[in-house]
Amino acid sequence: MKNNFQQSLKEELNQFLLVQKNKFPVSETLKIDLHCHDRNSDVPDELIGRILGVPETWLPTEKLLEELLKNGCDTFTVTNHNNARSCYELQDKGEDILTGAEFSCMVPDFDVGIHVLSYGFTPEQETKLKKLRRSVYEFQEYAASENIPTVWAHPLYHYTARENPPQDFFNKMLLVFERFEMMNGQRDSWQNLLVKEWIRQVTPENMDEYAKKFRLNPKNFSAAPNHKVLTGGSDCHYGIFAGMTGTYLHVPDLQNRLKTATRSELALAALRNKTIAPFGAYQDSSKMTIAFLNYVCQIALNYKDPGLVRLLLHKGDASDKLIALAASNLFCEVQKHGVTTSFVKIFLDSMLGKKPPILKKLLVKSEYKPIFNEAVNFAEKHNITDNRLVDEYYRSVLTINSRLCQILADRINKKLEKADTAKLFENESINTFIEKLELPLSIRAYLGGQDKKQNNTVDVAGFLDDLSFPFFSALFILSAHFTSAKTQFNTRPLLSDFSRNLGKYSHPKRIMWLTDTFGDPNGISVFLKEMLEEIKRKNLPIDIVCCSSSLKPEDHLVVLKPVQEFTPPFYTDYQFKVPNFVELHNLFFSGGYDRIICSTEGIMGLFGLYLKHAYTVKASFYMHTDWLMFARKVLNIEGRNLSRVRRILRLFYKAFDKVLVLNSEQKAWLSGTRMNLKPENVRETAHWVNSRFKAMPSNKELAFDLPESVLVLLYVGRVSREKGVLELPAIYRQAKETVPHLKMVIAGKGPAAEQLKKEIPDAVFLDWVSQDKLPLIYASADMLVLPSRFDTFAMVVLEALSCGLPVIAYNTKGPKDIIKHEQCGFLVETPEEMAERVTEFLRNGDKAAFKKAALERAAAYNADHIIAELLENVELTEEVSA
């Protein structure tokens, strides 16, 4: 799927970089990466890294210089965090290196942390700079007084602040800085171009205005504060992309000046004179994904358990520590698996151009050979010195991931075939299984001292046997994608505000609507098909995304092929389909989406939450099903286990920004004390029906093969226990005693069909009826009966009313909101009352009045109005009106 927004960014950035490339004569230009790191960046800014006690990289200094030289740099610096140790070590060895460091500084009046690249300082000046980091104003004033050139690194990526800084923060920093890193090799092109446009729009009048507003003299920080310039740097921590993004430094009469001065001296002079221009290339998240994959692999090989006490005592909230605990256990577990660590080592070496020994390749299992061979191919691609390297590396990563997913899926299928899963999920034991979904509080349980008879936890380790290599390797790849997107789009709200203020580069609004079911014979699929038709008709910026091996993609419908399909033994009427998660991750970016709606609580719903956090977007959940009642009625879950199901649902729904519900009862439940969602985050919506559902003459002979004189009590829907169909025999028999020429007609199929055929042998069973034939069925019946207390909306009620058919249902959930009692139908409390009302209506009811009221009520459910309200709830109205 083509992302026109990203394409436009690419074209504009390429044009800008071409201008920068031709800005200075090649013979008078030095080429330097002003932002790169090695092993001496040993204290990360990110809290999780500090809790785990891992450095930002293990890259040797010599390897960094080798990569910089390979990628075309002729002048060098190393900008480690808060220290210049690598520069001093190289200088002591006689290398010509420009002293540099990336200092973490605070902007105290805004409580925001930023990074400041600094160059050409002495060890004594470095000591002073470190002391001043708590105030960027003091830091910058000192740097200016000592003629130390500084650069604000990745200005739209900040630290510390819980909320995005206000525009005043950026306006004030314009007074403090004169050099801005516009091309950062670890940020996407949207962020980089926003920096370029921001600086382009700054005028001397702006500077005067800000100086007066903040009572700050910009000349305290620069002799020429109105002269702003842009720089570039790879921000590479792992070597592989060092030097591919950087800065041209203009040095007039370069060749002659090199006779009397070093490159580092000339580079420092050019930085001071601001005769500089950035270089690089368009980039999306793939480059950073490779970088983070490299880093995750480094951690996997070098990780040492920091200890639980350190984790507990370290600063950070509970969520930070839980993430750190999970990551620590993952890395410790990986180090126990020889195949995984061997692959990681080959992968890392190959990324830096080192091929593994022949013997190691020969010892690889045949099943894994394609994966290991693809990893080895990295070494052959290593000599590519332009942005094609990113494309080639990333293609290999996707190939490896696809193969890993297939191996993992095959092995899981074999395990499921071997295991007696059907017995595990029998109704009488599913409660036991849910009880085992727990982690014991007792420390003795983890030390192996707990009595095995009292062990109430699921044996996850046993199930994961033989899955370690494909599971961990695929998890590493997905984690790298997540971290890449999270790092680049963590400030998405800020980027959106910035683009709006600049009047340029606004990200389009577009919804990815995720569902586990589409094209299946159920209410969710029926609604989504209708939604798709409206999306097409209105050309809305919405795509429905599902996973299927049989559906074909079409406009606004994206179909992903599953890597695995399985039927849960506790609910054999549904087949789960598992997509390639990396493919779905990339689809979100390539499709230009900026928000999510999920329609199912399954695999797609969970991945919707992954995407929400990866890309920092808003996600809404469209609630179609009452799963608590399903658990009780269908799965026979009861007691404390039912409460556990409710808590799981609460955790899931609270993770979304909005929950869209289909009836007032659900809204009250979700915002009540049991579920505790914020009332403003729970919004009511509704369904509508296709225009084919309309009043038409009755034709019982064609519809049911019955005489027109026979009265028909109709049921339409899934024939299953949770739908209340087992109440139909008693209701029908009681009504038939008074209305002898009554006939029960059941349209639908399901697990309870055979039982109903035995209990109502004279009923007409139509099996499943297609949507195009249903209008005649409704129009030819005399009343629709819905014995379900399960339906959150009950599309069949609206379908029937649209055809002029009165409906009787229980006074609950969806039907309660749709049916106007004693006007277009009846709302009752018990099966006995239902039978009485059926009898009364069929004998004495004003059928013409009820039909008229039914049609009027159905007309209130208008697709245009419902969709407009839905778009408003998910904040998409501006884009649609535009």
Q: What is the mean pLDDT of residues 590-611?
A: 95
pLDDT tens profile 171-199: 999 999 999 999 999 888 999 999 999 99
pLDDT at 643 over 50: yes
pLDDT tens digits for range 480-532: 999 899 888 988 999 999 999 999 999 999 999 999 999 887 889 989 999 99
Q: What is the DSSP letter of 284?
A: -
Predicted confidence at residue 453, as pLDDT, reads: 47
> Given a cut of 80, is residue 790 above it in pLDDT?
yes
Mean local confidence (pLDDT), 855-861: 96
3-state SS record for 739-784: CCCEEEEEECCCCCHHHHHHHCCCCEEEECCCCCCHHHHHHHCCEE
pLDDT over 70 at 226, yes or no: yes
**What is the predicted pLDDT for the residue at 560?**
96
Q: How would residue 585 be classed by pLDDT, with cut points 50, 70 and 90?
A: very high
Min mean pLDDT across 346-355, 583-592, 793-802 is at: 346-355
Q: Which positions ≥6 away from 737 have C-beta within 8 Å? A: none
pLDDT band at 108 (very low <50, low <70, confident <90, very high): very high
Q: Is pLDDT above 60 for 462? A: no
> Which residue would you say has higher pLDDT here, 432 or 508?
508
Confidence band of 452 (pLDDT split at 50, 70, 90): very low
Give CA angle at 159 (153, 161), nearest 5°: 135
Question: How confident is the model at residue 321, as a pLDDT?
Answer: 87
Least confident among 129-133, 419-423, 473-477, 852-856: 419-423
Distance from first CA to last CA of the chain, Å, rounded? 22
- CA 365 centroid distance within chain: 34
Q: Is the pLDDT of residue 624 over 70?
A: yes
pLDDT recorded at residue 882: 47
H/E stretch holding 376 reads helix 369-381
Instruction: Give the Å distances, CA to CA, from 774 to 692, 695, 747, 767, 796.
Output: 9, 12, 9, 12, 10
pLDDT (average), residues 805-830:
95
pLDDT band at 570 (very low <50, low <70, confident <90, very high): low
**pLDDT band at 865, cuts 50/70/90?**
very high
User: Percent of the chain having pLDDT more than 90?
Assistant: 65
Q: What is the sign, positive or negative, of the torsion defined by CA atoms of 302, 305, 311, 314?
A: negative
**Tens digit of pLDDT for each residue in 681-722?**
999 999 999 999 999 999 999 999 999 999 999 999 999 888
Q: According to the model, what pLDDT value does residue 313 have?
A: 86
pLDDT greater than 80 at residue 454: no
Q: Is the pLDDT of residue 44 over 90?
A: no
Kindly report, residue by residue over 356-403, the tens digit of the pLDDT.
Answer: 777 666 667 888 888 888 888 888 888 887 778 888 889 999 999 999
Q: Say how many C-beta atoms besides its own lie within 10 A of residue 156's C-beta.
A: 19
Distance CA 874, CA 797 (A): 27
